[in-house]
Chains A and B, each alone.
Chain A
Amino acid sequence: MGQMLTIGKALNLGLRKAMEDDAKVVLMGEDIGKLGGVFRITDGLQKDFGEARVVDTPLAEAGILGTAVGLAMRGYRPVCEIQFDGFVFPAYNQIVTQVAKIHARSKGKLPMPIVIRIPFGGGIGAVEHHSESPEAYFAHTAGLKVVAVSNPVDAYWGIQQAIAHPDPIVFLEPKRRYWEKAEVDVDATPDPLFASRVVHGGDDVTVLAYGPMVKTALQAAEAAAEEGRSLEVVDLRTVSPLDLEPVFESVRRTGRCIVVHEAPVTLGLGAEIAARVTETCFHSLEAPVLRVGGYDTPYPPSKLEEEYLPDLDRVLDAVDRAMGF
């Protein structure tokens, strides 16, 4: 039976289920115990599973990830919470030089089933280092997989699938959408973790988004429809590996493609997707693949974030440009 859940609550229930299913799952992070995390995603879990399985760690991100590596070597499945996107960088060394590479270096003898949960992206009026989109750094590192959920259904299933998965996964949670609600059927058969999904059908332009920008893309599709334009929206769901077959299929039909993300445009995920779509769908394209994203600036003070972040108007503007070719 379905129940209405926010993304935050869906993650909480997903974590709970994963901990019930596998005694080797250990949550680690700052303030995740009594407080339940600054976003309350782990609310109540320490009370029910104890301090050994929901570990309030010292305040040091490299320590969280580095000890997770050792625990993984002992057969545990650590789920590390990074409090905010901009705080992942002290742990960046452990993630890219160790977590990502140990499976390869050991020829598969040392598994690294680590999940790194990061509330990412802007739009919540926070101070600096609380609103960043670091996905490209991780997607560029072989050995890591990167997932970005956009809704409660994927949050519930995705976190469980990520924890059960044998490879290290950077699991990006759209913090400004934590309170978005949808019906979650906990008895359903979930979609595979690393699969994109068409979430709005259309014929004129294919719009790709993931995480917090999926909702923006859907809003743009509704607004475009009022102007007689039909947008097909694809929720990528996974940043690495990319599942672009449904995208290619869509672009072959629409002939136009726009990639939307909050991260700075230069060398962002949009660049990679534009290159792949161009390589694969060159003869079907009616317009160059366009990118809508953040500017190549540090994330601005929150009073300017509405100007910085892509919104439905910037997406619609890109649609106009694509249609104009």
Chain B
Amino acid sequence: MTALPETTEMVDPVPGAAAPHLPQRAELVQLLTPEGDRVEHPDYSLDIGEQELRELYRDLVLVRRWDVEATALQRQGQLGIWASLLGQEAAQIGAGRAMAESDMAFPTYREHGVAWTRGVDPLHVISLFRGVDNGGWDPVATGFNLYTVVIGAQTLHATGYAMGLQRDGAESAALAFLGDGATSQGEVNEAMIWAASFSAPVVFFCQNNQYAISVPLERQSRVPLYQRAAGFGFPGVRVDGNDVLAVLAVTRSALAAAREGQGPTFIEAFTYRMGAHTTSDDPTRYRLASELEEWKLRDPIARLKAHLSRSSIADAAFFQGVEAEADELADRIRSGTVDMPAPAPTEMFDHVYAEQTPQLAQQRADFVAYQASFEGGEH
């Protein structure tokens, strides 16, 4: 097992981590080493078949390809902006695949991998970044809520939704995604207080990718993030966020505990954003190339590929097949993006309210008349 760099000193054991589904020791949960060796963890076993392993690999490769394609499309002026998930594929696929169909995800704006696991069409996600709409998928049908740009706001939504699940007697849970920077937000802290007070079936899944745009974790926290949970009175666990198997196991366990009425868990997926925060920033200004090189050695896809090859779970034909599928996906994303129609101009008026106001109806009518005045006209 290769040790990951610690941002601050670890304290062991985790205070408050007494629930039976929890590890009693504070450590980075890992089931697959960066070299691709399968290891066991005393608290998190994963019973997983070969087919499922191959499918996880396929997920990882396809969402990376989607991401690479979207980044290129932004560079070519086809997208206004793109928030890359490069390096965080395992955290997102592991968390997403841990969810049951009736669970609900509350993403930030980077959870393309989770969207993928929920069956959201990549083009629907891209439509947001292309400026076609403010969220082009059905959150109810997919169990994947709309992206939330204001940092941390969705953690409260997830908690309230979980309180609703609890009231309804539904055996489901909410999975709130957040980043390391979001843990500084008051609302995220309020969400954790609410979740604890009402024992809401919500799991907070923090992807600690080490930077909030340019500001490193050290500016957000004096303690490892998973330890924050103890202060709210529920368990926190740190998992290797580049290990899809560990993320899957830990998230499954936390979601199961939530559904069983054991309340919230905070998961810190320790990972790294390989690219920029968004296509608008320049990470070379705030981090060293050596750091990036170090993290490349922990690549989430390479390690699973090594495991699949070495264990003869997948052969060259399988890997070629996945590559071919990725090529097809990239083609579909490219042509689908370029061909994506702009929305009808009147759409901006249509869903502001469930019950339209007279003022807005008048503005809409005026707008339509104004637009019509240009047709075949003198302007």
Contacts and interface: CB of A to CB of B under 8 A. Distances in A.
B187 interface: yes
B353 A167 contact: yes
A243 to B, nearest CB: 8
A97 B148 CA distance: 10
B112 to A, nearest CB: 18
A145 B353 contact: yes
Residue among B168, B186, B357, B360 facing the most chain A CB atoms (10 A cut-off): B357
A71 B351 contact: no
Residue among A57, A63, A70 facing the most chain B CB atoms (10 A cut-off): A70
A70 B165 CA distance: 10
B164 A62 contact: no
A104 B352 contact: yes
A167 to B, nearest CB: 5
A67 B159 contact: yes
Given A71-B163, A103-B351, A104-B351, A109 B156 contact: no
Given A76-B164, A93-B150, A242-B359, A66 B191 contact: yes
Interface residues of B, number: 42
Interface in B221-261: none
Nearest to B189: A60
Contacts of A106: 135, 139, 146, 351
Contact of B156 (A66, A103, A108, A165): A66
Given A74-B168, A104-B134, A110-B140, A143 B191 contact: no
A230 B182 CA distance: 59
Contact of A66 (B140, B157, B197): B157
B159 A241 contact: no
A190 interface: no
Contact of A75 (B148, B159, B164, B358): B164
A107 B132 CA distance: 13
A58 B138 contact: no
B213 interface: no
A67 B355 contact: no
Contacts of A58: 190, 193-194, 197
B16 to A, nearest CB: 18
A66 B159 contact: yes
Contacts, number: 135
Contacts of B157: 66-67, 69-70, 73, 98
Interface residues of A, number: 47
A70 B351 contact: no
Interface string A131-150: 00000000000110100000
Given A70-B156, A70-B174, A106-B135, A63 B193 contact: yes
A97 B351 contact: no
Given A58-B193, A67-B156, A110-B139, A105 B161 contact: no
A52 interface: yes
Contacts of A243: 358
A111 B148 CA distance: 16
Contact of B150 (A97, A104, A109, A113): A97
B379 interface: no
A115 interface: no
B190 A60 contact: yes
Nearest to B140: A109
Contact of A145 (B140, B146, B162, B357): B357
B130 to A, nearest CB: 15
A247 B160 CA distance: 41
Nearest to B357: A241
A102 interface: yes
A241 B359 CA distance: 7
Given A58-B193, A67-B163, A103-B351, 8 more contacts: A69-B156, A69-B157, A74-B167, A98-B150, A98-B153, A104-B351, A108-B354, A110-B146
Interface of B: 133-135, 138-140, 145-146, 148, 150, 153, 155-165, 167-168, 174, 186-187, 190-191, 193-194, 197, 350-355, 357-360
Interface of A: 52, 57-58, 60, 62-63, 65-76, 78, 90, 93-94, 97-98, 101-111, 113, 142-143, 145, 165-167, 194, 240-243
Nearest 4 pairs between A and B by C-beta?
A70-B160, A66-B156, A74-B164, A67-B160
5 contacts: A69-B160, A73-B145, A76-B164, A167-B353, A243-B358
